[in-house]
Amino acid sequence: MQPRRVTRQVYVGSVAVGGDAPISIQSMTTTKTADVDGTLAQIYSLAGAGCDIVRCTCNEEEAAEGLAQIVPRSPVPIIADIHFQYRLALAAMEAGVQALRLNPGNIRKPEHIKAVAREAKDRGLPIRIGVNAGSLDPDIAARHGGATPEALVASAVRELDYFRDVDFDDVKISVKASNVPVMIDAYRLLSETVDYPLHLGVTEAGPPPAGVVKSTAGLGTLLAEGIGDTIRYSLTADPVEEAQAGRTLLEALGLRERQGLDLIACPSCGRAEIDVIGVAKAAQHALEERNLPLQVAVMGCVVNGPGEARGADLGIAAGRGKGHLFVRGTVVRVVPEAEMVDALVEEAERIVEEGIEARLAAADANAEAIAAADREQLVELRGTDANHAAERIEKIREITER
């Protein structure tokens, strides 16, 4: 991981973006904004899934009126998404939104752009310049030979110049594309060109799982390079899945503190003593319902399981009809195979309530000895030298001594 790029900082309501602020997670509602109750229900679901900022479309007068009722009741800041009609940006600000997103590809008259920027400046609201490869200004596209990284950045820079004409610089920028390599190169170029905070996204990534893979490829690459201040997974799915994916990515990269379950499991192999996939799914379902902020491991055999997953807060490894329950690599209890998931859930709740050290102190005194005996029996059954290592070593020595 490279050090994070230092950017200016803006505030979307109470959420800091850029500078030394944590990387924030965004998503967008799929409801009609005029449907106030339906939109609020989705916003609350997104906030519960870890979303820091939510964007709502403002594509008609009724949407702006809906925003006036949504904003004061929302648990997170609201950004109004504006296309084509600059007057709707003015209306959204009057409705009380905490920020705007403007697409420079479809609001092109400089006087309209500057009018919105002046009003945003007066109200102390930031604007995201949201460049999109699919709606690039034809003049810029023609000049750069299509929706290239250079064209995307040129569009953002031109919009910045309009803002600077009215002394407005409370800005963040995105240069999204559905083509992952183009998106990566565009953000790299943009990060070398400006010091504004950057909102990352692979636009129109599509439905999961392919959409998640494409988005993760783009977002993960840039975040590992220290580029990016806020992210969105643009999936053809329930937007709650976008927030969950964003949270998972940032936690996996160590860029946000873990707030929910991180379940790790071996991919299974011929050594597995259980249906690893089935047990892992059952454990994930049971633990996610409780929203416990732990890393939990499900391992298919006891020979290597506890050692391979010793970094996990909690785990279980199967062997000879038993489950070896371990905390930070130390076996604390041995339970019947049928009770493995229940034992995981019970121990997880105790760890959250009492702490790791307390659970290690409460370990069954005989657990480690029972686990060691099970491991030895399995090793004997499967053979300690299936690869005939001693014979191979002799031959290697003969070859090297010639």
Strand partners, 55: 28, 79
End of a domain among 221, 252, 283? Answer: 252
Cβ proximity of 263 and 281 under 8 Å? no
Say what the pLDDT of residue 270 is: 66
Task: Output the average pLDDT for the chain.
Answer: 91
Per the structure, the count of domains in the chain is 2
Mean pLDDT calculated for residue range 289-306: 80
In a domain, 402, yes or no: no
Q: Are residues 267 and 212 in the same domain?
A: no
Domain boundary among 233, 252, 271: 252
Distance (Å, rounded) from C-alpha 219 to C-alpha 205? Answer: 12
In a domain, 391, yes or no: no
Please tell me the least confidently modeled range out of 66-70, 264-268, 307-311, 363-367.
307-311
Same domain, yes or no, for 175 and 278? no
Regarding whether 324 and 233 lie in a shared domain, the answer is no
pLDDT of residue 192: 97
Residue 389 confidence (pLDDT): 66
Answer whether residue 163 is part of any domain. yes
117 domain residue, yes or no: yes
Q: Is 392 within a domain?
A: no
- What element of type H or E holds 273? none
CA quadruple 178, 184, 185, 190: dihedral sign: positive
Which residue in the block uniquely carries the two structure tokens 């949270």? 247
- Is 376 a member of any domain? yes
Report long-range pairs for 360-367 (Cβ below 8 Å, ≥24 apart): 360/327, 360/328, 360/330, 360/332, 362/332, 363/327, 363/330, 363/331, 363/332, 363/333, 364/332, 364/333, 364/334, 367/324, 367/325, 367/331, 367/332, 367/333, 367/334
Read off the pLDDT of each residue in 197-223 and give the average, rounded to a whole number: 97
Q: Determine, yes or no, domain membership for 216.
A: yes
For residues 162 and 68, membership in a common domain is answered with yes
pLDDT digits (tens, 9 = 90+) for 175-197: 999 999 999 999 999 999 999 99
Same domain, 182 and 227: yes
Considering the domain architecture, whether residues 36 and 175 belong to the same structural domain is answered as: yes
What is the per-residue pLDDT across 340-394, written as a single tens digit (0 to 9) for each?
899 999 999 999 999 999 999 999 988 878 777 777 776 665 554 545 667 777 8
Q: In this predicted structure, what is the pLDDT of residue 77?
A: 98
Is the domain of 279 the same as that of 197?
Answer: no
Task: Residue 208: give its domain's CATH number.
Answer: 3.20.20.20
Burial of 269 (0-12, 13-18, 19+ CB in 10 A): exposed
pLDDT at 173 over 90: yes
Angle made by CA atoms 85, 87, 91, in degrees to the nearest 5: 125
Give yes or no for a contact between 123 and 117, defined as CB atoms under 8 angstroms apart.
no
Range of the domain at 167: 9-252
204 and 280 part of one domain: no
